[in-house]
Chain A
Amino acid sequence: MKYARLVVALALIGLLAGLGPHVLPEYWVRVLIVLGINIILVSSLGLSNGFTGVFSLGHPGFVALGAYVSGILTLELTKKGAYLPDLPGFLAGVQLPFLPATLIAGVFCALVAVVIGIPLMRLSGNYVSVATLGFLVIVNVVLVNAEQFTRGSRTFTGIPPYTDLGWVAGWAVVTLLVLSRVAYSPLGRAMRATRDDPIAAQAVGIHILPARLMAFALGAFFAGVGGALYGHYLVSFSPATFYVAMLVQQLTMLVLGGQASLTGAVVGVSAITLLSEVLRNLERGFSLGSLQVPAVFGASQIALGFIFILVMVYRPQGLLGDRELPLVTGGRVAKGAGPVYKDTVGGGRT
């Protein structure tokens, strides 16, 4: 029964990805692509921020690394000569297809996450947030200075436009499947235990560092994959694309949907994406009968901010809190037996 639902959901997504580009206007295909990429990015952020309580601010750093790694690996050789003439030999001669490049980008990010995570995941609370923010700043500075790899602050362009709805839908499903398997497994319970009460968790034999590191690295892997997809969607970007503005957007989507819920991440991303598209089109001005509303650019950001404040006042735990669709937990968590979600960092009322 539970597999039947999963199959139906997968079939629907497959149908959407397969038929979408032929039936939907290109504008909606693009909105769905960005929506799917954000689902990958935000749900992977949720694994560390929501499930393990390590409130990371470094996520866009991994997205950036993923985009640049995959971009460098897939760039046509002639373009490589023109845009990145100083690439070291072993990179100058490679041109990989999309899938391997995406996977390498993800693995590279996971490795970086392990290396920086070993010292950082020992920290908790605000300290780990500040430290991961430091990581984001370092990535930005490195990208700006590593000119032979990234063109520095100049726009990295000429990347093949591989990303389409099929790739994004496929990776979003893989991301959600893997994350839900991990989050609602014994390992996931260990992650939540280290979040809710580290001392009690240690007392029952859970090692805090491996549990957190696992969440951080897995999150980084999918951030890298999402970054690769985003890079091949935009086809040109610069280090500034993956900085504070992106961080704020991801955190907003995550916190709005509910940090400790994969369903919440999907809801948060969908709500903000659709709302900002609707508002963006409204702010261009419209006419209601005889009433002419002029264009007020910037109004959409104000309205979004206001809605966000309202949600935080009335539902500080986010729209879904830590509730999940049964589909996500796969029946591995008994109804009502979910963890008591207490957010100690992220701005909830505790």
Chain B
Amino acid sequence: MKKLGVVLGSLVLVSLGLAQGTIKIGNAYNQTGSMSSLDVPASNGAKLAVKEINAAGGVLGMKLELVSYDGKTDPATITNMATQMINSDKVVAIAGFTDSDSALALGPIAQKAGIPFVTAGATSPQLPEQIGSEMFLACFGDNVQAAVGAEFVYKNLKGKTAYLVWDKSTEYTTLLGKYFKDAYAKLGGKLLGEETYKSGDKNFSAQITKIKALPQKPDVLYIAAMPDDIGTVVKQFRQAGLTQPIVGGDGYDTPLLVEVGGKAADNVYFTTHALMDAQKGTPEVKKFIAAYKKEYGKDPENAFAALGYDTIYLLADAIKRAGAPDPAKITAALMQTKGLKTVTGSITFAGTGSRVPQKAVTVVAVKDLKLNLAATLAPSYIPKP
């Protein structure tokens, strides 16, 4: 009986010891609901990163532990989840989300509790200002990718005139269109007009007719679109005889572009976080794809898998430099991040005064149903968030 007590007691001690030896990070993604097609790959990327880091000995001699909940793409569930992570699980930092609505639901709670929150893929550069000092982006902001899009149109494609089409039903496409307009005008490009549609629309003949009726043919079309729509948009524009280059943002980074668009997707260019290609990608991308494939038996679905992965490495780096799993120290260390090499480029916050990293933007060109690297650019002018 006494022996049993000793065994039980030592078990308790061991488990306590283990509990003290882990650093808990909140894994906040929408595993179900409309954002899950981007969030699940990102969450998988995060899990892979944690596994690698722990296999290599962890951080500060402790293992990382991901605390996962499902946000269900529902703001009320996300607020509950955030409170649980912070108050019950005592996470020291939160990584997550690929859209600004979800980030804005969680952000204020993390801010109030003083827990650093790094979003993997919500690209609105306004987030840090809207939420506060604990909010960081692991991805570039939409102002940067739109500026790169504008420079690519003006310099690489020699597009002196352009026409802007944007989806007015989401924050992302609205901002992207706005930033493009700003940056393109700054470069000296001439916008011949703009037209809107709503995500889910199946017929774009109104927009097409307007463009075809223009007295001057635009050199390039810039279309700010959501992943679900871009295939259909490209197909209809091409069928109507609009053969100009079509340029857009990271919403195009979905297999649907080529699957739905087919040959129509030729001469399409888009800005994104990294070219997810096992042959043509950078060495970091190749290494990531191989590791992801080994873990999940399939290629990464999109660049968000890499962003989820990078977010964990960004946090691990900050925790290491903080010297202790203490939220305030991690926030301070995050601000000092300098030249951290990640799959989606290098992240620097130190000295920029911004919590949106100034990453180089990858421009991808579509040809014969294949994605190719067109350019890697850092913009010379960045529109204000």
Listed in ascending order, the chain A residues whose CB lies under 8 Å from chain B are 25-27, 30-31, 34, 144, 152-155, 157-158, 161, 233-238, 240-241, 245, 277, 280, 283-284, 295, 297-298, 300-301
Provide the residues of chain A in CB contact with B105, threshold 8 Å. 234, 236
Task: Tell me, rounded to whole Å, the shortest Cβ–Cβ distance linking A15 to chain B.
Answer: 22
Interface string of B14-31 (1 = CB under 8 A from A): 000000000000000001
Known: A25-B87, A234-B75. A277 touches B80 (CB 8 A): yes
The reply to whether B31 and A26 contact each other, CB–CB distance below 8 Å, is no
Given A153-B170, A153-B174, A295-B68, A235–B108 Cβ distance below 8 Å? yes
Contact check, A283 vs B70: say whether CB atoms are below 8 A apart. yes
User: Does A27 contact B169, Cβ atoms closer than 8 Å?
Assistant: no
A26 to B85, CA, bound (A): 11
| Nearest 5 CB-CB pairings of A with B | A297-B31, A154-B171, A236-B104, A297-B70, A27-B83
Given A158-B130, A295-B68, A297-B31: A241 in contact with B169 (beta carbons within 8 A):
no
**Of B74, B80, B104, which is within 8 A of A27 by CB?**
B80
Instruction: Considering the complex, give the chain A residue whose CB is closest to the CB of B167.
Output: A153
Instruction: Say which residue of A34, A245, A297, A301 sits within 8 Å of B80 (CB atoms).
Output: A34
Of A152, A234, A297, the residue contacting B174 (CB under 8 A) is A152
B residues less than 8 Å from A26 (CB atoms): 83, 87
Chain B 62-79 interface mask (CB, 8 Å, partner A; 1/0): 000000111010111101
Q: List 28 A-B contacts (CB under 8 A).
A: A26-B87, A27-B83, A31-B80, A34-B76, A144-B168, A152-B168, A153-B169, A153-B170, A154-B171, A154-B174, A154-B175, A155-B171, A157-B130, A158-B130, A233-B79, A236-B104, A238-B101, A238-B171, A240-B101, A241-B101, A245-B74, A280-B80, A283-B70, A284-B68, A284-B69, A297-B31, A297-B70, A301-B72
Identify the closest chain A residue to B78 (Cβ).
A234
A301 near B32 with CB under 8 A, answer: yes
Q: Give the complex CA separation of A297 and B81 in angstroms.
A: 14
A3 CA to B84 CA, complexed, in Å: 39
How many Å from the CB of B100 to the closest CB on chain A? 6
Residues of A within 8 A of B80 (CB): 27, 30-31, 34, 277, 280
**Which chain B residues lie closer than 8 Å to A158 at the CB level?**
130
Cβ-defined partner of A280 (8 Å) among B77, B130, B170, B171: B77
B178 to chain A, nearest CB (A): 10
CA distance A153 to B170 in the complex (A): 5
Whole-angstrom distance between the Cβ of B47 and the nearest chain A Cβ: 11
In angstroms, Cα B168 to Cα A238, docked, is: 13
Cα–Cα distance between A237 and B100 once the two chains are bound (Å): 10
Residue of A nearest to B107 (CB): A236
Cross-chain contact A30 with B174 (CB below 8 angstroms):
no
A230 to B271 CA separation, bound complex (whole angstroms): 37
Q: How far apart are the CA atoms of A3 and B36 in the complex, in Å?
A: 51
Question: Judging by beta carbons under 8 Å apart, are A144 and B79 in contact?
Answer: no
| Interface residue B380 (Cβ < 8 Å from any Cβ of A) | no
A158 to B131, CA, bound (A): 8
Q: A155 contacts B68, CB within 8 Å? A: no
Cβ–Cβ < 8 Å partners of A297 in chain B: 31-32, 70
Name the residue on A nearest B171 (C-beta): A154
Q: Which of B32, B79, B87, B198 contacts A234 (CB 8 A)?
A: B79
The yes or no answer to B88 lying at the interface (CB within 8 A) is: yes
A250 to chain B, nearest CB (A): 13
Known: A30-B83, A144-B198, A157-B130. 15 other contacts (CB 8 A): A25-B88, A31-B80, A34-B80, A154-B174, A154-B175, A155-B100, A237-B75, A238-B171, A245-B74, A277-B80, A280-B77, A284-B68, A284-B70, A297-B32, A301-B72
> Please, which residue of chain A has its CB at the minimum distance from the CB of B169?
A153
Tell me the minimal C-beta distance from B77 to chain A in angstroms.
7
Closest-CB distance, A328 to chain B (whole angstroms): 26
* Chain B nearest CB, measured from A3 CB (Å): 35
List of A residues within 8 angstroms of B175 by Cβ: 154
Residues of A within 8 A of B84 (CB): 27
Whether the Cβ atoms of A153 and B168 lie closer than 8 Å is: yes
Which residues of B have CB within 8 Å of A31? 80
CB neighbours (8 Å) of B83 from chain A are 26-27, 30
| Most chain B Cβ neighbours within 10 Å, of A152, A155, A157, A236 | A155
Q: Are A280 and B70 in contact (CB under 8 A)?
A: yes
The CA-CA distance from A236 to B135 in the complex, in Å, is 15
A305 to chain B, nearest CB (A): 13
Kindly list chain A residues whose C-beta atoms are within 8 Å of the C-beta of B174.
Answer: 152-154
User: In the complex, A26 Cα to B88 Cα: how many Å?
Assistant: 9
* A30 CA to B198 CA, complexed, in Å: 34
- Shortest distance from the beta carbon of B117 to any chain A beta carbon, whole Å: 14
Q: How far apart sit A328 and B73, CA to CA, in the bound complex (Å)?
A: 36
**Chain A nearest CB: distance from B169 CB in Å?**
5
Question: B298: shortest Cβ distance to chain A, in Å?
Answer: 18
Cα A298 to Cα B40 with chains together (Å): 12
Q: Which residue of B lies closest to A241 (CB)?
A: B75
**A298–B79 touching, CB < 8 Å:** no
**List of B residues within 8 angstroms of A234 by Cβ:** 75-76, 79, 105
Within 8 A of A (CB), among B325-375: none
When C-beta atoms are compared, the residue in chain B nearest to A141 turns out to be B198
Per the bound structure, the CA–CA distance linking A26 and B171 in Å amounts to 30
Chain B residues 179-214 with CB under 8 Å of chain A are: 198
Residue on A with the closest CB to B84?
A27
A residues less than 8 Å from B170 (CB atoms): 153-154
| B74 surroundings in chain A (CB, below 8 A) | 245
Chain A, Cβ-Cβ closest to B100: A155
- Provide the residues of chain A in CB contact with B79, threshold 8 Å: 30, 233-234
Most B Cβ at <10 Å: residue of A31, A154, A233, A245: A154
The listed residue (A144, A155, A235, A298) touching B70 by CB distance below 8 A is: A298
Give the nearest-CB partner of A145 in chain B.
B168
Q: From residue B171, how far is it (CB to closest CB) to chain A in Å?
A: 4
How far, in whole Å, are A30 and B104 apart by their CA atoms in the complex?
17
* Closest CB in chain A relative to B53 CB, distance in Å: 20
A153→B83 CA distance, assembly (Å): 27
Q: How near does chain B come to A112, taking the closest CB pair, in angstroms?
A: 23
